[in-house]
Structure 1
């Protein structure tokens, strides 16, 4: 059986179809999360949410709830809870570091006191694309609608906030409320991506397409479009390659996304108006 026939055969299987659907839905929303992560300079959020997800998994196991959904709920609550700590742009990363430390300590304490199988809890963090369930698709589908809609609906406010928090405040943007909403969406998205690629490979769905897009786009809208487009191409191509040559999808997706990001950064930078400058120019002059 050649590679093409193997792909065709595997795509007839329901778990493979769900995995493909999950990756396509993820590509419509999760790269936009990467744009937010880079814009707010909260790179530690991926690791913080990994630890929060572990805490949610442990609590879910103890209470007899779905561990995956418990992890997503825990991430959403953590995103909302950390927002009040982020009074300034610089404090966002610090807040994420604090959250990461507290979450892993609480998770380990819960696992120790409850007697829950720690290996089983940690195993859920490694993810499995072929284990995607209908509930996972529903969450990813919701993000695929909510995130692009937010970019279209609040494009100016987002551009200002991702450019300069103080400028956004002076321009009438409800920074605290917008930051909380973004942190909740980022947290839920990272928690959802863990099911697809595992906690350590979340960047392939979020950060790497965004890094490439920021190099290619000149406005927030164009960066968002580039990020989604790159996510779609990388997810589809990486998944088909993994099926054709019987390779683990997660690492293939990371290498594909990393190659695109590297290629984008090798392109000579264009001396054009950036989306940050566009955001600044949209503020009415006081003169």
Structure 2
């Protein structure tokens, strides 16, 4: 490790960013596993739009914009849960939410007289601007998300495998779906400060996609996802500091390379979900 890198890690902002990335690597990849299992890939884009609405409300009211974004995403996740029972699932609902959220955000920004560019800048993220509150939120997610996954592993596995089978097996699917959607929504909002809304897949989805190729069970997939997330986040952050480049894009590219490399391995998805239900 070079002297310059040691000096950088002596800075409080760099230390907070490093801790946030490690904590994010523990909870957020497990959220990616849930996103894949529920087949709700559009949820990331829906929450990005809702986060923008929350930021706009924060700028209008004078409250913390990112706190408003987290609250807005959490409430929206809870509101989407009942729609999972429909025949069309959540895809159509998320498209509606995205359209309404961006329209409402632009209207709020117009009413408040705030420059829209200022709101959009928050969506780009800045790891080195990580605050203590962001670290606390990621720390809570690092405990709650894996904790729920471990405690309710069989119920979660059944739900991710087949909603109707889970209901017939006595799983309270509506309540569990509600909890999972709220966690996913809050996690996406919580990752905005680190990589930005447009690059949030580096912390959530890409490690989970790579893990799906490597694991033979749902628990193994979660473990692989966390392991990949920790390695990618740590290596990407150090590499970005060494190259003096924005950490967000470096993290995404490195996570993408890992996911592509894992893609060369034959997929074991069927085995993963079948083993998970036993």
- The answer, yes or no, to whether TM exceeds 0.5 is yes
Alpha-carbon contact 2:60-2:109 (below 8 Å) kept: no
Q: 2:275 aligns with which of 252, 275, 278?
A: 278
**CA displacement at 1:88 relative to structure 2:** 4.0
Aligned to 2:80: 82
Contact 1:27 1:205 in 2 (8 A): yes
Alignment of 1:14-163 (within 5 A): 14-88=12-86, 90-163=88-161
- Listed as ranges, the matches of 1:221-260 within 5 Å are 221-260=219-258
Distance apart, 1:136 and its partner CA: 0.4
Partner of 1:214: 212
Q: 1:273 to 1:55 in 2, by over 3 A?
A: closer
- Mapped partners of 2:186, 2:72: distance in 1: 9
Matched, 1:177 2:175: yes
Question: Alignment partner of 1:274: what SS?
Answer: helix
Question: CA offsets, 1:217-255, max 9 Å, x none?
Answer: 111110110000000000000000001111110111011
- The TM-score, its normalising length taken from structure 1, stands at 0.94
- How far residue 6 of structure 1 moved from its aligned partner, in angstroms, is 1.9
Distance in 2 (CA, whole Å) between partners of 1:269 and 1:63 is 48
Counterparts of 2:232 and 2:181 in 1: how far apart (Å)?
25
TM-score, structure 2 as length reference: 0.97
Q: Structure 1, residues 158-179: CA drift from partner, whole Å, max 9, x if none?
A: 1111111111111111111111
Separation (CA, whole Å) in 1 of partners of 2:235 and 2:266:
26
* Kept after mapping to 2: 8 A contact 1:83/1:180: yes
- After TM superposition, where is structure 1 displaced by more than 3 Å over at least 4 residues in a row? none
Gaps of 5+ in 1: 283-287
Give the Å deviation of 1:274.
1.1
Give the RMSD, CA atoms, in angstroms.
1.4
Structure 2 spans left out of the alignment, 5+ residues: none
CA gap 1:197/1:152 in 2 versus in 1, 3 angstroms: same
Aligned mates of 1:179, 1:255 — CA distance in 2: 31
